[in-house]
Amino acid sequence: MLTDPDVDKQPGMGLVLRAARFAAWKHRHQRRKGKGRLPYINHPLDLAHVLWFEGQVTDPIVLAAALLHDTVEDTQTSVQELQGEFGEQIAGIVMETTDEKSLDWRVRKKLQITRARGASIEARLVKLADKICNLRSLIANPPQNWTVERQRHYFDWAKEVVDQMRGTNPDLELRFDQVYRKRP
């Protein structure tokens, strides 16, 4: 049996690694939309990186949830599966950041705005990092079929979501504002 060497020394490291491995497996056939067509897993890894290095977020629960945040929405992963692998709290955070795919996209976008304020602190951190990373990707690698109009619309919507979460993490909010200034 594998023993978990971090139990005494680095609580949480094993959890974060397990989440990275699980997400990499689940997203293994997917690519990002932008023209570089990066492997999808780069996106959740970017979120965890932003949280740690730019938001000073060191809570392994948040980092693991960031790595897993798109598994239910974009891969064949159920909440039950996440609960079994990572526990109720992480599964709950992932669900808070998951759009209801059965709803019309306009309704989903609207719901993200109205639900952001009431989200848990952990989910708000993941959402902030997600919006930062998505705007950065849009600037670096805009999807070929996106008009400038559509990009602007996305920027403005992302800002509306972030504006609902002001006061969550000033460092991340500042990073968001910096990238928002590059709106096409």
The binding site for Zn ion (CB under 5 A) comprises 70, 130
At 140, is the secondary structure helix, strand, or coil?
helix
Taking the complex as a whole, the smallest distance from the CB of residue 168 to Zn ion amounts, in Å, to 17
Would you call 73 a catalytic residue per the annotation?
yes
Cβ(135)–Cβ(175) below 8 Å: no
Q: Of the listed 74, 81, 85, 160, which one is catalytic?
A: 74
DSSP 114: H
Element (H, E) at 52: helix 42-53
Q: Hey, which residues does 29 pair with through a beta bridge?
A: none
Q: Which is nearer to Zn ion, 70 or 122 (CB)?
A: 70
- C-alpha 3/C-alpha 40 separation (Å) is 30
Q: Which is nearer to Zn ion, 6 or 120 (CB)?
A: 120
Catalytic residue among 73, 81, 85, 160: 73
Task: Look up 70 and say whether it is catalytic.
Answer: no
Shortest Å, Cβ 178 to Zn ion: 19
The residue (of 4 and 31) whose beta carbon lies closer to Zn ion is 31
Closest residue to bound Zn ion by CB? 130
For the bound state, the minimum distance from the C-beta of residue 130 to Zn ion, rounded and expressed in Å, comes to: 4
Contacts of 116 (CB under 8 A, 6+ apart): 124, 127, 161, 162, 164, 165
> Which residues belong to the active site?
73-74
